[in-house]
Amino acid sequence: MIIKRVIAKSVRDSRGEKTIKVIVKTNRKFKTSAPEGKSTGKYEAKPYFRNLDGDIKIINSIDINKINKLIQKKDVKTVSQAFLFLSNVEKLVKNKIGANSLFALEASLLKALAYENGKELWKFLGGKKENTKNIRPVGNAIGGGLHGEGIKKKEPDFQEFLFIANGKNFEECVKINDIAYELTNKFVKSWIRNDEGAWETGKTNEETLMILDKVRQIIKEEYKKEIDIGVDIASSSFYKNGKYNYKNPEVDLNKKHQILYIKELINRYKLFYVEDPLDENDFSGFKELLKEVKKAKNQKNKNCLIVGDDLTTTNPERLKKAIKTKSINAIIIKPNQIGSLLKLKEVIDIAKKNKIKTIISHRSGETKDNTIADLAIAWNCDFIKTGIYGKVRTRKLKRVIEIEKN
Ligand code: PGA
Ligand code: ZN
């Protein structure tokens, strides 16, 4: 395979903001664009080294001969050869580009190599088709927090209210999540959607959870299907001076009361999934909550996923700390939180070794890029979080279905 050009340019994401796209040209073109978060974790890698234009310049001036030499020297045919190639590419751009740019560059190079080997990306990376049997979609149905404006200046303080269908296969799970999303608006009656295509509402956290609970019942009784519910609390976004500052209704909770409140919600609404319930620095708070969850009598509550996102930021060192401190039993995997696909795989490997569930995830600002679907199947993730409504969200779900039916 001879790479003729590597081109970086800026494109608009779903919020209309500029992000990076990297195109690798051989006899064909292989493209990847990076997303952008809004409620970003403090410990995420920087998206660009200095800025987007600076990274674009660096990628456009990469010496293609050097990349071609790396490929020819090691005739890249296997996953381990591909990883060695990526580690050499990383040396070439080390400390020159940020995480968004590195992710888009590495993914486009891998797509080109996969094609050269007659395989799709997920398969080239060692994925098995059975992996589509394990994966479930996590879909955002109602939004609050930093992702929305709410209605008449009111909104839930939690960022995302989520459905996680449990169907006979991925395609059915997606259908059940779709039905749940539509049913949800019978109760929300909002017709306004936020950044991620979730319904906007002026309701409180608990009023919103009651809606999810009702929808879960309807899905069970009328549709005879199973669906779980969850929340992304994104609590760092409203944690200030040692308190969780709730606005709707107004109340300040300290760490101890926040843990009690979340535990209460898990039990009352039989939550299956709770992301970032405590501040991004609070490993011990996460640990206390997880300990409480494990004490629950009800099996559903016992198995509740306590998910790290801002806490762990797809960073191997932060994941190791979370494991050592017994803070989480599930982790969000976002490629552009870390940039390097090698480190991303390392995070997934550490998680699997320690029985931590993996949730590969989109960002609130997205493009039509569906690379995360291939990565999810390649590396056997347990969940894919993409939202339910809107092309930039459904493209990823459709890609998993395509692999499932392949
Ligand atoms: P972000 O939010 O993409 O705006 O960071 C998503 C999340 O917190 O899971
Ligand atoms: Zn999150």
What would the pLDDT profile of 211-260 be if each residue is shown by its tens digit?
Answer: 999 999 999 999 999 999 999 999 999 999 999 999 999 999 999 999 99
Q: Is the CB of 19 under 6 A from ligand 1?
A: no
402 is catalytic: no
Residue 87 is predicted with a pLDDT of 96
Q: Is the CB of 335 under 6 A from ligand 1?
A: no
Q: Is the pLDDT of residue 98 over 80?
A: yes
What would the pLDDT profile of 350-364 be if each residue is shown by its tens digit?
Answer: 999 999 999 999 999
Residue 379 is predicted with a pLDDT of 98
pLDDT-based confidence at 300, cuts 50/70/90?
Answer: confident
CA of 276 to the centre of ligand 2 (A): 6
Q: Is the CB of 363 under 6 A from ligand 1?
A: yes
Atom number in ligand 1 closest to CA 38 = 4
What would the pLDDT profile of 145-173 be if each residue is shown by its tens digit?
Answer: 998 888 989 999 999 999 999 999 999 99
CA of 234 to the centre of ligand 2 (A): 5
Q: Is the CB of 194 under 6 A from ligand 1?
A: no
Give the pLDDT mean for 58-87.
93
Ligand at minimal distance from the CA of 307 is 2
Contact 8, 59 (CB under 8 A): yes
- Probe residue for ligand 1, chosen from 276, 364, 367, 372 as the CB with the greatest number of ligand atoms within 8 Å: 364
Residue 72 is predicted with a pLDDT of 85
CA of 17 to the centre of ligand 1 (A): 15
pLDDT-based confidence at 86, cuts 50/70/90?
Answer: very high
CA of 402 to the centre of ligand 1 (A): 26
Say how many residues make up the chain. Answer: 406
Q: What's the pTM value of the predicted model, to 2 decimals?
A: 0.98
Ligand at minimal distance from the CA of 148 is 1
Supply 155's token pair. 């909104």
Residue 250 is predicted with a pLDDT of 97
CA of 70 to the centre of ligand 1 (A): 36
288 is catalytic: no
Q: Is the pLDDT of residue 74 over 80?
A: no
Of the chain, the percentage scoring pLDDT greater than 70 comes to: 100
Q: Is the CB of 15 under 6 A from ligand 1?
A: no
Q: Which residues contact 55 (CB under 8 A, 6 or more apart)?
A: 8, 20, 48, 49, 97, 98, 100, 101
Catalytic residue among 90, 106, 155, 196: 196
Residue 207 is predicted with a pLDDT of 98
Weakest mean pLDDT among 181-195, 196-210, 292-306: 292-306
Look up tokens 């970086």; give the residue.
8
**What rounded mean pLDDT belongs to the chain?**
96
- Probe residue for ligand 1, chosen from 39, 239, 359 as the CB with the greatest number of ligand atoms within 8 Å: 39
Q: Is the pLDDT of residue 210 over 90?
A: yes
How far is residue 110 from each of residues 50, 125, 314, 334, 373, measured CA to CA in Å? 25, 9, 20, 18, 14
Selection from 255, 314, 318, 265 nearest residue 286 by Cα: 255
Residue 116: which H helix or E strand, with range? helix 99-116
Atom number in ligand 1 closest to CA 234 = 8
Strand partners, 385: 138, 361
**DSSP 3-state of 399:** helix
Give the pLDDT mean for 6-31.
97
Give the pLDDT mean for 12-34.
97
Residue 173: which H helix or E strand, with range? helix 170-188
Ligand at minimal distance from the CA of 38 is 1
